[in-house]
Amino acid sequence: MAENISSAQQRSWMNELGLSEQEIAQRKAFLNFSDDDAQRLQALHSLAQRYAEGVIDDFYQHLLSFEESRRFFTDPAVLNRVKAAQKQYFLQLTQGQYDTGYVEDRLRIGIAHERINLPFELYLGAYNFYLRAVLQRVVEEYKNTPEQVTTTFTSLLKLVFLDMSLAIETYLSQRERVIREQHEAIREISTPVLPLRERLLLMPIIGAMDPPRAQQLTTQLLHGIRAHRAKAVVMDITGVLTVDSAVANHLIQAVQSARLMGTTVIVSGLSPEVAHALVRIGIDLTMVTTVGTLQDGIEAAEQLLGYTVTKNGTCHTPSPEKGAS
């Protein structure tokens, strides 16, 4: 039986970003990037090693001439580190191997830049600079065989476009991750599970209920039941905008799931008109205890749990003179 995933793969950026080897191969095919291109680039490697230092120095001189990029490199130690990394990056373009190792490396660097909030245009700007710097030197190198300039430069263009697509991928994925996390947070905040009394929970639902939210809501309900050992839950749907058959079915599923955990759910806030409408279209609400108002719901739940609520006298409002803090 094939063992699933090695630990190295589990940390892979390709996995994180949902990029398969197939996908990378497709991108290369789309760019017409073949082994010939790889070879042409590798042929440039010794040339690249000769002028890498110069190109990188020029690039950072250019970058630091702009105020908005200067603030990222105020520390000289940081600048040196980054320059060294960039030199490596630059040399990688011509080392001739453009497999998953190469892709992983590019993704990792992209993520690192995104994390320090480096503006995207600066990151892409580097590529443009490299292309211009390299073109100059390739023209110089192949001055006796000018057709090689075109073919070599074309190979470089293809690779740079592949690199840029990976860079875009990393920036996008991070944005998407933040959006997902925010969505999750919003969903959780908008469906709180409140302990009202011992063994009794209140779950006020507000807003629209689509299938993903319904699932999330039910999961939250069931986890709340387990955490608080609830015997009864009042699920108030007064704030649910549209109660149609889909919403009704979600509610029924929530109630049925809770029952499997031994808990009774009382649905409050379902108006008689809506209830009748649902029954008319064939939704079976007989298994669901429904009451009109939230107050009715809480009372019903308390009765179920054996509470008796009594009123002993009139309501006292605290008088200002007594025990003023």
Question: What amino acid occupies position 141?
Answer: E
Nearer to another protein, 24 or 56 (CB): 24
CB 8 within 8 A of CB 104: no
CA distances in angstroms from 187 to 44, 216, 252, 299, listed in the order given: 54, 8, 20, 28
CA–CA distance, 292 with 139 (Å, rounded to integer): 82
Neighbours of 116 (CB within 10 A): 8
Contact region for another protein (CB under 8 A) — 12-20, 104-112, 158-166, 295-303? Answer: 12-20
Rule CB under 8 A: say whether 165 interacts with another protein: no
Rule CB under 8 A: say whether 39 interacts with another protein: no
Could you tell me the smallest distance in angstroms from the CB atom of residue 219 to another protein?
A: 5
Buried b (16+ CB within 10 A) or exposed e, 178-203: eeeeeeeeeeeeebebeebeebbbbb
Contact region for another protein (CB under 8 A) — 78-86, 213-221, 266-274, 310-318? Answer: 213-221
Nearer to another protein, 207 or 212 (CB): 212
Nearer to another protein, 166 or 222 (CB): 222
CA–CA distance, 128 with 131 (Å, rounded to integer): 5
Residues 48-67 that bind another protein (CB under 8 A): none
CA–CA distance, 110 with 121 (Å, rounded to integer): 13
Tokens for 7? 């630990």
Could you tell me the smallest distance in angstroms from the CB atom of residue 15 to another protein?
A: 6
Nearer to another protein, 158 or 228 (CB): 228
Residues 231-260 that bind another protein (CB under 8 A): 231, 253, 256-260
Q: Residue numbers of the site for another protein (CB under 8 A)?
A: 1-2, 4-5, 9-10, 14-15, 18-23, 212, 215, 218-219, 222-223, 225-226, 229, 231, 253, 256-263
